[in-house]
């Protein structure tokens, strides 16, 4: 029997119940070892399609496939025990019809064992969210700056600069919540718009570049750890992993070049058979 104690996973209703309560702590995760480190601290781990840019070196999230999301989703599920794991639906896997969205979401859930899926939810997506939610798929919406729309939008641009755009984001929020999403990620909007949306919907809002007016925050883990030279302006860095890794690897290289690494005689004490 395993000595590991069983830990109860956070569920979609648990997250839903945190509206206006203790802020939700959320981060992205793409692999098992990092999920293991993040899990005790987080309410929600998102296997974001940002994996395409952060891990696979793509310029945008457009080239991310369903198979990639499933592979990373499985790894994060293996590495975590407590946090709710939500897996992003990649570009092209849900926009065509509610049926397409359901079939691909069901595949993600059954193959990874995750607790929820996330979709970028323009108002057009409301029908698909309702179709999935009615068929027992817990859905997180994603409004405001929608990275999968970056090509059509002409880049990764904050949303809500004009009255019309502001209204569009509010409409997206209402449509997403009314369709049955249990939480909504709001990306790249001004604080007063995030505040208005958070008051307008009865599900928790999770901000990324959307201020503390939201019911929680999500960041790309590698951004907050300082893995990259450039990070979005709204990201607070809690470490400088690029510099620290560079220094550690330089030290390692120096030691190998000067043969200052342990010989196997120091590591293993092997008994000779004839000795
Ligand atoms: O793909 C992702 O990581 C996301 C978060 C930035 C919210 O959608």
Q: What is the CATH number of the domain that holds 97?
A: 3.20.20.60
The whole domain housing 99 covers: 3-251
236-253 mean pLDDT: 97
pLDDT at 3: 59
Q: How many domains does the chain have?
A: 1
Answer yes or no: is 174 within a domain: yes
Cβ of 28 below 6 Å from ligand 1? yes
Specify the residue with its C-alpha closest to ligand 1, atom 2. 48
pLDDT of the residue at 263: 81
Residue 231 clears pLDDT 70, i.e. is over it: yes
Contact partners, residue 274, CB within 8 Å, separation at least 6: none
* pLDDT at 1 exceeding the cut of 60: no
Q: Give mean pLDDT, residues 194-207.
A: 98
Task: Establish if 201 belongs to a structural domain.
Answer: yes
Domain assignment present for residue 96? The answer is yes
**Atom number of ligand 1 nearest to Cα 46:** 3
Atom of ligand 1 nearest to the CA of 88: 1
Q: Determine if residue 144 is left, alpha or beta; phi over 0 gives left, psi from -120 to 50 gives alpha, anything else beta.
A: left
Nearest CA to ligand 1 atom 3: 48
Question: Does 2 score more than 60 pLDDT?
Answer: no
Q: Report the SS3 class of residue 241.
A: helix
How would residue 243 be classed by pLDDT, with cut points 50, 70 and 90? very high
The pLDDT score that the predictor gives to residue 264 is: 81
Does ligand 1 have an atom closer than 6 angstroms to the CB of 90?
no
Q: Please indicate whether residue 43, judged by its CB atom, sits closer than 6 Å to ligand 1.
A: no
The packing angle between helices 163-179 and 126-134, to 10°, is: 20
What mean pLDDT is predicted for residues 34-44? 98
Q: Say if ligand 1 is within 6 A of residue 180 CB.
A: no
Beta bridge partners of 242: none
| Residues 26 and 10 sit within 8 Å (Cβ to Cβ) | no
The residues near 247 (Cβ < 8 Å, ≥ 6 apart) are none
pLDDT at 201: 98
Ligand 1 pocket, residue 101 CB under 6 Å: no
pTM of the model: 0.94
**What is the rounded average pLDDT of the residues 132-148?**
97
26: which strand partners? 44, 218
> From the alpha carbon of 49, which atom of ligand 1 is closest?
1
* pLDDT value, residue 139: 98
Residue 265 belongs to a domain: no
Asked if residue 262 belongs to a domain, the reply is no
Could you report the per-residue pLDDT of 80-132, keeping only the tens digit for each?
A: 999 999 999 999 999 999 999 999 999 999 999 999 999 998 899 999 999 99
**pLDDT classification of 178: cutoffs 50, 70, 90:** very high
Judged against a pLDDT cut of 60, whether residue 13 lies above it is answered with yes
> Which ligand 1 atom is at minimum distance from the Cα of 187?
7
Distance from the CA of 192 to the center of ligand 1, in angstroms?
A: 22
CA nearest 92: which of 116, 114, 60, 115? Answer: 60
Q: Does some domain include residue 264?
A: no
- State the Rg of the chain over Cα: 21
Evaluate: CB of 121 within 6 angstroms of ligand 1. Answer: no
Residue 208 lies in a domain: yes
3-state secondary structure of 142: strand
Q: Is the pLDDT of residue 270 over 90?
A: no
Distance 88 CA to ligand 1 centre (A): 8
| Of 207, 227, 205, the residue nearest 218 (C-alpha) | 207
Percent of the chain with pLDDT strictly greater than 70: 96
237: left (phi over 0), alpha (psi -120 to 50) or beta: beta
Residue 108 lies in a domain: yes
Specify the residue with its C-alpha closest to ligand 1, atom 8.
48
């Amino acid at each position: 029997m395993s000595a590991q104690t069983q830990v109860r996973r956070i569920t979609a209703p648990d997250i839903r119940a945190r509206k206006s309560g203790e802020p939700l702590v959320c981060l992205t995760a793409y692999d098992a070892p990092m999920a293991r480190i993040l899990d005790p601290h987080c309410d929600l781990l998102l296997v974001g399609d940002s994996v395409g840019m952060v891990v696979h070196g793509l310029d945008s999230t457009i080239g991310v496939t369903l198979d990639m999301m499933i592979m990373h989703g499985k790894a994060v599920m293996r590495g975590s025990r407590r946090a709710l794991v939500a897996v992003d639906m990649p570009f092209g896997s849900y926009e065509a019809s509610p049926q397409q969205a359901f079939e691909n979401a069901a595949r993600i859930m059954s193959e990874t064992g995750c607790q929820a899926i996330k979709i970028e939810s323009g108002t057009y997506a409301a029908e698909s969210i309702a179709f999935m939610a009615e068929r027992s798929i817990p859905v997180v919406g994603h409004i405001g700056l929608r990275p999968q729309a970056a090509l059509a939008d002409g880049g990764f641009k904050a949303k809500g600069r004009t009255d019309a755009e502001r209204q569009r984001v509010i409409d997206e929020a209402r449509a997403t919540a009314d369709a049955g999403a249990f939480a909504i990620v709001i990306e790249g909007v001004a604080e007063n718009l995030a505040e208005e949306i958070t008051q307008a919907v009865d599900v928790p809002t999770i901000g990324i570049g959307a201020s503390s007016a939201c019911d929680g925050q999500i960041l790309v883990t590698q951004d907050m750890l300082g893995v990259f030279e450039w990070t979005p302006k709204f990201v607070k860095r809690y470490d400088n992993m690029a510099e620290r890794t560079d220094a550690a690897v330089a030290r390692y290289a120096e030691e190998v070049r000067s043969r200052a690494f342990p010989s196997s005689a120091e590591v293993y004490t092997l008994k000779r058979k004839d000795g």
